[in-house]
Structure 1
Amino acid sequence: MRHEIHDLRARIDAARVYELARRTPLQLAPRLSEELGRRVFLKREDLQDVFSFKIRGAANRMAGVGEIATAQGVCAASAGNHAQGIAMSARHYGIDALIFMPITTPPIKVRAVEALGGQTRLVGDSYDDACQAALDHAKATGAIFIHPFDELDVIAGQGTVGKEIFEQASHTIDAIYVCTGGGGLVSGIGAYAKAVSPGTRIIAAEPRGAATLKTAMAAGQPVTLDHVDGFADGVAVRRIGSLTYDFCRDVVDGCVTVSNDEICAAVRDIFEATRTVVEPAGAVALAALRRDVVDGHAPQGDCVVTVSGANVNFDRIGHMVERAELGAGEEMLFSAVIPERRGAFRTFVEALGHRAVTEFSYRYNDPAEAHLLVGLKIKRGSERDAVMQALKEADVEATDLSGDRLAKRHLRHLVGGRGEGPVAEVIYRVEFPERPGALGQFLTALDARWNISLFHYRNHGAAEGHVLCGFQLPNNDRDALEDSLNAIGFPVWEETDNPAARLFL
């Protein structure tokens, strides 16, 4: 395979990408470097005009298709990044391009392809469905099918990322972490690295739910996955390419898989370093480096991570933000059971100490005990046991749900319901300044004369925090309750007759 690696290196040197692709910066990330204890460089492929490295492979392949493609056109299958690369390259070379995309493709990506001059056809629910439709079209019409990763010219185009890394680096690179789906990028970067710097480790980074290369390496051949987690859709493929697998066997030194929460944490890291929101696939490589550092497997020298793309849908950003702190080990989510009696709420809050609360959900249901769902800011990993011990000492039964997918994905949005019972209930919304300890101040200042029947708070990163709070009034002493709330000094609004509250709370 050594001959093929040097042949691919020659193809990379000769690749025609710069009529359409940019030379992207290799950017030192100082804060990340300090935190991870080694110099960390970001290869900023998110700065391409189509916001992804895919323009390189598409441009190189399209440069060589010649008059046949001019007459018959080209076709491709993609859920986004490859599609935009093909569309942009086809427009540049005056070639018709038809892109087959799954019906599930977000409209923003479909519009982006069409804005670049590509025709789109939505077929099936997955990339595989769209790919088969594209292959059928190519067979029926003579159009040239351009694979997103399993072609030499495409791999060579992606490999120019590796060439630039070694041209731009001022010191020896110990490792390059590469996001990996079909394997085109890691094959190209790896082949170039092994040709010019054999000591540089090439680490393939994959989502845990779409580990095509790791699965293939374990089996000794490409394997079609039964199920693929589409969260990092840019690398969510069911099977690694046959050609790319052959290269990866020789050029990849290790595979690291990461969770979706770890990917979200890496998205946040990249934002803090660059002020750019990348797509989940664009952060997989950094998440893998973080995982290797935690596990003690990362080299001590300079490390490069590929920031492969930034084609993220706006409506996904909120989800990534919500999961980032859990992924970084800086938030824990737990349930707690406390007795349903006056003062128990305050005792529980005091057990939390001065730690910042990120979420607090409770709804009265049982006359004997209350069930709480709580999010808490902690120091990275080290504080979790201390929190659980403090709750145990306060006789609070608690369960750590930080790793529970059901709790993270659904339960935290569903805690609620109607507070049935003979005692009158009123609901208030309270606004307070979002500073450390402010929520605890509010909770401990509440007069214990009234039983709290509902409580919901979530930190949204704004200057003000908002709490929805329900109180039982056995003596209908609403005026006394409002006097007590107003004495705390935070703005208060009654929401008892709010239509949404009446329907659901």
Structure 2
Amino acid sequence: MPQSYIKKILEARVYDVAIESPLDHARLMSKRLGNNVLLKREDLQPVFSFKLRGAYNKMMHLSEEARAKGVVAASAGNHAQGLALSALKLGVKATIVMPKTTPQIKVDAVRSRGGKVVLHGDTYDEASTYAKKLVAEKGMVYVHPYDDPDVIAGQGTVGVEILRQCTGPLDVVFVPVGGGGLAAGVAAYIKYVRPEVKVIAVEPEDAACLKLALEKNRRATLPEVGLFADGVAVAQIGKETFRILRKTIDGVITANTDEICAAIKDIFDDTRSISEPAGALALAGLKKYVEQTGCEGKTLVAIDSGANTNFDRLRYISERTEIGEQREAILSVTIPERPGSFKKFCSALGKRNITEFNYRFADDRDAQIFVGVSVPQGGHRDDLIESLTKLGYPVADMTENEMAKLHIRHMVGGHRPAVVESELLYRFEFPERPGALMNFLTRLGNRWNISLFHYRNHGAAFGRVLVGLQASRKERAEIESFLDKLGYSYHEESDNPAYHLFLS
């Protein structure tokens, strides 16, 4: 029974290497949601995730004979770093088997903490098989990332801290779930000590192995697992963790990629720290819970479980954030192919801010534009589509279209059609402020037909636009005289090799 874990959790040895992470008040999120939102900051641990707790507690429970043989684990991320640091602290040899596809930053992090890295296979399963082979051949001790009582007990100390730090009212605790080690430990402790406090598990929509197990009333394996939230990308919930969770949690909420990205931004806004996708998962579930239940004035805790994300993922995360916050509508709109159409369309949007504008001339009748528009939260996307439709614009909503968001937005374009006999290409920079794009189009006027247009608001101080004008090189001097009067920084790119290879 889960009660048997209480003694194990209270006696867990974690603080030789781990810190008691703070429970921070998320001021901006609390104000926005109308509830008291608290973040349990496990991203501040020495290895930037909670995994250190369980790994060290497991090693503290090994005999001297077992430690002398060395420990081994298969991991591509947080468990590997937690185990490596724990082994370093105790003077134990640690071998971490990682897939060959593991980002170098994570390989280097394990090595820097004294772990021996063995790169094997292309997937976690191949790495895990090899790790277990080392156990059989060399007698090493396998340290499971989640499905082990001592690991679960170590992670359960997060729950102990939450109850100690939150002395006032506490209504719901949201915990991210991959294999279930953290959730099982936290839920077992909280439901025993304060059974009135709800514990909600949060999973990615594309890796919801606990939700599947609860629906089937048995452990089952997902046919596919999404990898965006790699820290919780598990196909099957653990055997021991499921035994605990089915008796202790009060529900499961799933969050999609856009909602997770929005939660990463929310944490940054309140703490100026950047969570990994799995780290922000619990807050994404918290936000969804508030939306679904309409609760107000409650005290809600989300466990920020880690901050081990690669820097190069931030571009993708920021790209998806506005959609995750339901503050951006992605639309395909048909407008007439004639000078002034862009400006007229922008006028139809009113005071709404344009976040993206992609277009390439196709024929002389209609123009198909790919446009992003900022909208307030709460059903305003439908209002925007309805208003454009009433004005005669055919509109297709692409906001929930995964292919459009991942690929098509970056591929709108192609080579110049034969009907455009000549084209001059210019790259602009202008101060980014509300209405800046509309002002740019207004001042550009209707003299030349726009044959190519790309704009994306990245939240920088300067907006960047690439514009193709249907004009001959003989008109260059006249165009540039006009552009000089606009006062915007510009560069002609008509001879750029990238333009000739892909667009002209």
TM-score of the superposed pair, with normalisation by structure 1: 0.97
Deviation, structure 1 residue 300: 4.8
Match of 2:21 in 1: 24
Greater shift, 392-401 or 238-247, is seen at 392-401
Deviation, structure 1 residue 376: 1.0
Deviation, structure 1 residue 383: 2.0
Deviation, structure 1 residue 67: 1.4
Deviation, structure 1 residue 68: 2.1
Consecutive aligned runs of 4 or more in structure 1 exceeding 6 Å deviation:
none
1:116 has 2:113 as partner: yes
The one-character-per-residue Cα deviations of 1:283-317 (angstroms, maximum 9, x if unpaired) are 00000011111112657521110000000100001
1:20–1:89 CA contact under 8 A, matched in 2: yes
Match of 1:56 in 2: 53
Match of 1:369 in 2: 366
The one-character-per-residue Cα deviations of 1:419-459 (angstroms, maximum 9, x if unpaired) are 13252110111111000001110112222121100000111
2:340–2:445 CA contact under 8 A, matched in 1: no
Match of 2:463 in 1: 465
1:233 has 2:230 as partner: yes
Deviation, structure 1 residue 100: 1.1
Match of 1:500, SS state, is helix
Pick aligned residue for 2:306 from 285, 288, 309: 309
Deviation, structure 1 residue 480: 2.7
Match of 2:494 in 1: 496
Match of 1:137 in 2: 134
1:329 has 2:298 as partner: no
| Mapped partners of 2:397, 2:484: distance in 1 | 35
The one-character-per-residue Cα deviations of 1:311-368 (angstroms, maximum 9, x if unpaired) are 0100001110110110010111111111212222221111111211111110111222
Greater shift, 485-494 or 431-440, is seen at 485-494
1:289–1:298 CA contact under 8 A, matched in 2: no
Pick aligned residue for 1:73 from 70, 74, 86: 70
Structure 1: gaps (5+ residues): none
Query: What amino acid does structure 1 have at the position aligned with 2:486?
Result: I
Deviation, structure 1 residue 219: 0.7
Greater shift, 123-132 or 315-324, is seen at 123-132
2:221–2:235 CA contact under 8 A, matched in 1: yes
Greater shift, 343-352 or 83-92, is seen at 343-352
Pick aligned residue for 2:177 from 180, 189, 203: 180
Counting only pairs closer than 5 Å after superposition, residues 67-216 of structure 1 correspond to structure 2 as 67-216=64-213
Match of 2:49, SS state, is coil
Query: What amino acid does structure 1 have at the position aligned with 2:174?
Result: Y
Deviation, structure 1 residue 92: 0.9
The one-character-per-residue Cα deviations of 1:133-169 (angstroms, maximum 9, x if unpaired) are 1112111111010100000000000000000000111
| Mapped partners of 1:223, 1:200: distance in 2 | 28
Pick aligned residue for 1:448 from 446, 449, 459: 446
The one-character-per-residue Cα deviations of 1:450-477 (angstroms, maximum 9, x if unpaired) are 1100000111211111110000026943
Greater shift, 463-472 or 393-402, is seen at 393-402
Query: What amino acid does structure 2 have at the position aligned with 1:181?
Result: G
Match of 1:435 in 2: 433
| Mapped partners of 1:499, 1:101: distance in 2 | 41
| Mapped partners of 2:319, 2:494: distance in 1 | 29
| Mapped partners of 1:479, 1:290: distance in 2 | 55
| Mapped partners of 1:312, 1:208: distance in 2 | 20
Percentage of identical aligned residues = 49
1:278 has 2:275 as partner: yes
2:259–2:325 CA contact under 8 A, matched in 1: yes
| Mapped partners of 1:401, 1:131: distance in 2 | 40
Greater shift, 49-58 or 133-142, is seen at 133-142
| Mapped partners of 1:118, 1:76: distance in 2 | 10
| Mapped partners of 1:420, 1:220: distance in 2 | 59
| Mapped partners of 2:65, 2:407: distance in 1 | 52
1:90–1:97 CA contact under 8 A, matched in 2: yes
Query: What amino acid does structure 2 have at the position aligned with 1:31?
Result: L
Counting only pairs closer than 5 Å after superposition, residues 215-364 of structure 1 correspond to structure 2 as 215-296=212-293, 300-364=297-361
| Mapped partners of 1:477, 1:393: distance in 2 | 38
The one-character-per-residue Cα deviations of 1:39-77 (angstroms, maximum 9, x if unpaired) are 010000000000000000001001111212232111011
| Mapped partners of 2:149, 2:45: distance in 1 | 21
Match of 1:473, SS state, is coil
2:209–2:235 CA contact under 8 A, matched in 1: yes
| Mapped partners of 1:122, 1:69: distance in 2 | 24
Structure 2: gaps (5+ residues): none
1:207–1:259 CA contact under 8 A, matched in 2: yes
| Mapped partners of 1:180, 1:378: distance in 2 | 32
Deviation, structure 1 residue 488: 2.3
The one-character-per-residue Cα deviations of 1:184-220 (angstroms, maximum 9, x if unpaired) are 0000000000110001111000000000100000011
Match of 1:477, SS state, is helix
| Mapped partners of 1:277, 1:187: distance in 2 | 25
TM-score of the superposed pair, with normalisation by structure 2: 0.97
1:349–1:444 CA contact under 8 A, matched in 2: no
1:384 has 2:381 as partner: yes
| Mapped partners of 1:224, 1:385: distance in 2 | 37
| Mapped partners of 1:447, 1:256: distance in 2 | 50
Match of 1:273, SS state, is helix
| Mapped partners of 1:473, 1:34: distance in 2 | 53
| Mapped partners of 1:475, 1:146: distance in 2 | 69
1:175–1:299 CA contact under 8 A, matched in 2: no
| Mapped partners of 2:308, 2:70: distance in 1 | 26
Query: What amino acid does structure 1 have at the position aligned with 2:119?
Result: L
Match of 1:15 in 2: 12
| Mapped partners of 2:461, 2:278: distance in 1 | 31
2:34–2:296 CA contact under 8 A, matched in 1: no
